[in-house]
Structure 1
């Protein structure tokens, strides 16, 4: 068995690979093993690791040799503590902790330092791997610090610096004795639990005293220098603080016109650096931003400062409405700018319908953005000549673009045709087209079979003289059966046998008409054909008796209840107070009978807390804004309020209360007299007087007396 085992081991040694051999190549430098130049297998090609030699690096170097020659094992360097390689490093250094070349101490062994003292000093236990430099400095293990890693970090103590102090900010020698604080903390008596002020320039004393940063003051640097506040004392006090002085939190006593805890805002209705500039009169709630006076505007004001009347309004309070034709104005007769389509001092003149965008100069009515296709001249009232799609605005005969592929300065050179030089007479067809007599609209490529053209590709062509020609472009979907017959009629807007006539030739507002008779079936937006096939406005449900202008849609007899505007297409604000059988607002949307509880203003869009009497008066005034009888109505409103208060007082004294279903009969009676006076004073027609009186009678309600 022993002989067999030996044979097996030899076989393994001879056949094993380098990375698994128990001896051969095991100590090769860089683990590189292979066949050398002499053909010897399993040799270390780049030499041996320290301590070994022989081609396969299987033999150890002599005792105390650090390295030896690979070929013969001659000692080259010694292990630490020994010297004399020529003598196989058999000589030991004179000093135990030294490494030497001869007997003297050249450097220290690991764990020792100070060559000058023969390495008698031991590295600190806090040194990483217990190694240190010749002056004792080293890299520290965890929980140690200092140049020589001989001190526990703050918050730790003990031989191995692994025991926690009572407070992590304390450097201690045991759990109860704190000898110093972590930088930024103070008070040894409380184990350094107090933090130095953020105003300290450097560390603070055990009492918290320190040198202050520039923006702090005080022995402990807890206070800001005058005029500043905040955590870092770098925020200036508000300019609203008296003398510019404030507390650490920014609070202070305010100068005039300022308010707020930090005096950082202006009092109501003021803005500016010193809060001495009034806000714009159109600012909502009379409030604006302190810095620049900008604010949210009431509906009739505009501009960043809300000090300009909104488009469509004028007057000192911007509560007068410009005429419909004005975009904005200074009076009802003087418009600054006109709405699109109008011009003139009062914008009462109409721009030419041929102006692009219906935009023209306010003073002269000249088209500003050019003419619609087919028109020319300053006012675009002249037509372009010939077949021009567009033409020069100064020369109606010079075409700048043509319709449907035509070309030339007069748009007479037909598509797919070569015309004579300086002429628009067609010489010959081009691009595979033929038949000059058919305006070069025929091409064999349109045939199903170009050799025998008896059928065209589809209904957009018709056969003619062994070719296929394009259908009339005005045929619906360009489909035809012959040159003169459209399969499904004409394109919208055209009529006649050859679709050559325009529907607008018979009715200016017609966009689609019958091909065989002058009967419109579709009109421009807002218009519909009547029973005679003529385009007219369809009056809204909301016009009285549904009567309106056939072209503009303006209601002849006004609006039904609770609608307003010329076409009666707007609903009175829901916040307007309601009166039975009466409309809530006038033709401009202004509330006639005041507002529901909680709102005020001309159109009742603002919240309010005014009393009932004031609201009633406001409703009467609001209903009369812009009218000639404003002063009279205001006086009547005041009288009614006084009478109403007297009535309420009288009822209270009598121990009872009057509850009305709607309006007090006394008020209705006063209103009757008021309407009669207005009718007489302003020569109101008898019809309006009758209608006003009828409505007042309808509003009369029964009332009941309830014991208080």
Structure 2
């Protein structure tokens, strides 16, 4: 028996194969993987020429069901004329509307759309309803109905359950909702069913304007007046000056010359006053008329300008800029009228002349645009002297218009603005570079030679030391006291190494001397240890070799 995991895998594989084999393909495709394109009139197929399901109006089999014709399996045979679908030429499974029978060759009765026989209608044409398998005409203006008393849809322009009511003339496109008559309104119409004119309109099409009133839709006669008017007979007449409101029963405020007949707000105040009721006083900075300030009635803005030239703004409550010459400015914009004080420029004299402008007895720059009047300080150029001359200009002087160096260039530079290096300066620079390179190479060679001299001196010291060591060994062996001569001690050798290295050779020589001194100190300790050891020639040579190697590092 197979193990359980293997059985599970086998079950999954078989299930996948079954699913692939029975997978539903999209219409027009077939095969195990649905990758086969079916013939034109096929819905499903097993291969390129064999259909299992045909589209409506086509079938598989023999032409005209005649055995003398070959059997066709690609759904290329057409059903009869009145068949929607068929299983073969002589058997329709569904007929077109108005036909019935095995081959759909019989017509249903008049006004019947679908029937089983001439006396059994199951669905009627539009405008008729079915009652006991017979079709009867719907009532007038009923497009489709369930019975004589209930219309499902009405002809255009009608509504209600029996379609006997007309949509209102104000309905857009004269269409309305079948159950209530509600609709979207045309212009100038209003109401749930668009059966009324908007306020101020009258007439059948609401295309006339009521004269300053609410009026009758049919006659246009005023029934009530708008504010500012009063009813005289059947028309509305404007209020007399100084009155306002419904039927002009209210008087304008005391300081009002005129007020709105609709709401009583003052439109013209007596001089010096403003506001809705003309109770507020105009600013004393406003220009006067008959020695009384004049301002707008609605907000108090000065109408004729300011009473003095040092004020500006809508209400003449702003002071001209402190840099305006004579302290005067335009009352509307605040722009200085007569230019600026010394050292300032701009429309409002808010900008200061450049500090690079040359000093002047009158002013350093023009009020209009800030251009320096007397040129620039040395080292600057441009209309406002804001740009610096090139540092290579001789005496730091350049032309004001274009920055060209007026007195030429300092040595080594050329060009209008002295930005280019001269040819001779380039050669000199190249020569200097070559000299510097030679000096560096010479210093390197000299340093190397110095090192060779130092190393040679060190080697000479080492050989001298080896000779003295041998002499000392001989003298010690002949000296019964065994005492050492302090004058020939290791510090003396170090001093000789220092002298051999030389004073003032440079940092490299000093470093080499330091290394030699440290090496000699180490070697001296080794010599002292040697006195207590075997004095054989072999040990002496080994120690001497070690000293030589340490000193040579």
Fold similarity call, TM over 0.5: no
Using CA pairs under 8 Å that are at least 6 residues apart, name the structure with larger relative contact order, 1 or 2: 2
